[in-house]
Chain A
Amino acid sequence: MSPPIPPIHKRIFLVAAGDLEGAGSVSTAVRRTLRELGVEPDVVKRAGIVCFEGEMNMVLFSQGGRIILIVREDRVELLFSDRGPGIANIDLARQPGYSTAPDWARELGFGSGLGIPNMEQNSDRFEIHSRVGEGTVIRSTILRGVHDDTGDRGGARA
């Protein structure tokens, strides 16, 4: 792979564990930033979805972490890193419907087990690394100028 084009924008957001009031605010800020930078609406939407799902997982399952937004001319990258229990079986976590969300989280509208599949589906490249007892790192890359007008994405092309 050729070296990435240098960033035109980089921003770091902190995510607090269990912050059910503020959860989702990073996604909103990311969308605003991308719109201000003139990023394509389709990319803004996909980044908003990826960010929301990653952010919610950090709030619900980790002990907190951060999200880094990197905007390049040809792509948007979202890097999620948290301290926490980690994910023991990543293949399982990637499967639609797999969720360990507790009952209280389900009552709040979480726990479809679609967050990670949804992040993957809206990314052009998607990587998860996790160490049990330490934390989880996720990198999502969304390519710009690859217009998707059907709304049906066949899943991530890693």
Chain B
Amino acid sequence: MKLQALAELVGARFLTGADQGEREVTRAFAADLLSDVLAMVREEGVLLITGTVTPQVVRVAEVMNMGAILFVRGKLPTPATVEYAAGAGVPLLATGKIMYETCGILYQHGVLPAKRKGLPMDHVPPNPAHP
């Protein structure tokens, strides 16, 4: 799906990268914890849906060669972060919708889940006894 179409579906506006409206994203990953993104996203060009608006979110998107960042819950990064993303070529979008609704809409319209990397803890049985 093109970023422009995606923005219209979830009522998002571009904070930067509006000229990248034709960029395609086919898969998305939603998380607020950055290490989860770094540990689990396998492919490149993935859309990151997040409520975390620190400068590090853009760094993570760069490290992982992600397609764009969509901020949810009306959260907005600082102008300095937007400027940094502009320089790094990472499109930023923002919507007032909550993460669940944003993901639901995009899923319904065919944006696929990102493939998840295997982790050591996948082999831990569910409900481990916590000390």
Chain A residues in contact with chain B, CB under 8 A?
Answer: 20-21, 23-25, 27-28, 31, 45, 48-49, 52-53, 56, 96-97, 106, 108-115, 117-118, 121, 151-155
**Is the Cβ of A21 less than 8 Å from the Cβ of B55?**
yes
Known: A109-B52, A112-B33. A49 touches B38 (CB 8 A): yes
Which of A31, A48, A109, A111 neighbours the largest number of chain B CB atoms within 10 Å of its CB? A109
**Is the Cβ of B56 less than 8 Å from the Cβ of A56?**
yes
Inside 8 A of A96's CB, which chain B residues have their CB?
A: 119-121, 124
Tell yes or no: B24 within 8 A of A by CB. no
User: Would you give 8 A-B contacts (Cβ < 8 Å), ordered by A?
Assistant: A49-B38, A52-B56, A52-B59, A56-B34, A108-B56, A109-B52, A121-B39, A121-B120
**Is the Cβ of A53 less than 8 Å from the Cβ of B38?**
yes
**Is the Cβ of B117 less than 8 Å from the Cβ of A31?**
no
B27 shortest CB reach to chain A, Å: 13
Nearest B residue to A48 via CB reads: B63
Which residue from A28, A110, A117 sits with its C-beta under 8 Å from B39? A117
Tell yes or no: B57 within 8 A of A by CB. yes
**Is the Cβ of B63 less than 8 Å from the Cβ of A45?**
yes
Number of chain B residues close to chain A: CB under 8 A: 30
Nearest A residue to B43 via CB reads: A151
Contact with A along B68-112 (1 / 0, CB 8 A): 000000000000100000001000000000000000000000000
**Is the Cβ of A45 less than 8 Å from the Cβ of B65?**
yes
Chain B residues in contact with chain A, CB under 8 A?
Answer: 32-36, 38-39, 42-43, 50, 52, 54-57, 59-60, 62-65, 80, 88, 115, 117-121, 124
Inside 8 A of A152's CB, which chain B residues have their CB?
A: 42, 117-118
Inside 8 A of B120's CB, which chain A residues have their CB?
A: 96, 117, 121, 155
A49 shortest CB reach to chain B, Å: 5
Give the distance in Å from the alpha carbon of A117 to the alpha carbon of B35 in the complex: 10
Give the distance in Å from the alpha carbon of A111 to the alpha carbon of B47 in the complex: 22
Which residue from B56, B80, B115 sits with its C-beta under 8 Å from A24? B56
**Is the Cβ of B121 less than 8 Å from the Cβ of A24?**
no
Inside 8 A of A28's CB, which chain B residues have their CB?
A: 59, 62, 88
